[in-house]
Amino acid sequence: MLSKFIKVGDKIELCTLDKGMVQSGGESGKVYKSRIYDILSEDSIEILMPMEQTKLLLLPVDEEYNMIFYTSGGLYQCFARVADRYKDNNVYLLAMEFTSNLRKYQRREYYRFGCALEMCARNLEAEELEALENKKPCEFQENLPLKRSVIVDISGGGLRFMSEECFEPGSLIYCSYHLLVNGERKKYELIGKVLVAKELENRKGTFEHRVQYYNIDVNTREEIIRFIFEEERKNLRKE
């Protein structure tokens, strides 16, 4: 099945997860270029060891990367770790083991995962907005009234949520929710820019909002994307 999507010889990129993954607009962390040497199984492949000029790059065993595949059918993406590295018939190889599902990938879009997650939100205070305008760290004020909301889909770029409060399009809001990351429930406090806010026709008094993350750091974005991959993986197992 894997060979239906990727083939021997396809170009790939491995992007470091500690410094960031390939994002909208072409931003990236450290990127290593290679090619698929062989497909070993449904969740493992061999790739040529990356090189820099004429020097082989010995990527650490067990290190995990974001992999982008350039195929005749378009771009694909998954997370994978270096399972082994060795030499075979004078060819230096890395054995890569997938740690997420392979999925279609578009650089300028993020996959949206349907869900039902509780969230609290409020408008940013004047002091918080001033800090952002002056490009200073935004320290969220505590013990302020929050509006309960429900996230109905989430991605690495933003989220969509329902609330009885209507937040103005163009405004910046504080968003707080929890995700299960590495088996632990982790709290996220993020700033979102409201792109769209509209009242539902069949549920008067309930407003749907589309929000784009604002000033999100790459590590937080990666954790959200990883959460989505893991939840998708769980759903596929159940099916």
80: helix, coil or strand? strand
CB 168, CB 194: distance < 8 Å: yes
Q: DSSP secondary-structure letter at 125?
A: P
- The residue extents of the domains of the chain are 2-104, 113-238
Q: Tokens standing for 163?
A: 């609330």
pLDDT in tens, 11-41: 999 988 753 333 333 334 578 999 999 999 9
| Rounded percentage of the chain residues whose pLDDT exceeds 70 | 92
Residue 183 · residue 171 · CB < 8 Å: no
Name the CATH topology of 113-238.
Thrombin, subunit H (2.40.10)
Residue in this structure with the two tokens 């990527």, named with its chain if needed: 59
Longest dimension (CA), the chain: 69
The answer to whether the CB of 124 falls within 8 A of the CB of 191 is yes
pLDDT digit string, tens, across residues 113-144: 899 999 999 999 999 999 998 888 888 999 99
Hey, what amino acid is at 190? L
Tokens standing for residue 16: 């470091």
pTM of the predicted model, to two decimals? 0.57
What are phi and psi for residue 126, nearest 5 degrees? -60, -40
Is the pLDDT assigned to residue 163 strictly greater than 70?
A: yes
Main-chain dihedrals φ then ψ at residue 212, nearest 5 degrees = -110, 135
Token pair listed for 209: 């909002």
- What span, in angstroms and rounded, lies between the C-alpha atoms of 119 and 187? 10
The token pair that represents 161 in the structure block: 């949520």
81 bridge partner residues: 64, 97
Q: What is the pLDDT of residue 85?
A: 96
With contact defined as beta carbons under 8 Å apart, do 17 and 30 qualify? no
The residue ranking higher by pLDDT, 103 or 148, is 148
Nearest to 6 by CA among 89, 74, 66, 96: 74
| C-alpha of 91 from chain center | 33
Q: Identify any residues that bridge with 76 across adjacent strands, giving them in sequence order.
A: 69, 104
pLDDT of residue 151: 97
Q: What percentage of the chain carries pLDDT values higher than 90?
A: 60
Task: Count the neighbouring beta carbons within 10 Å of the beta carbon of residue 170.
Answer: 9
Residue among 159, 152, 158, 156 at smallest CA distance from 114: 152
CA distances from 88 to 36, 47, 227 (A): 14, 12, 36
Q: Domain 2-104 is of which CATH architecture?
A: Roll (2.30)
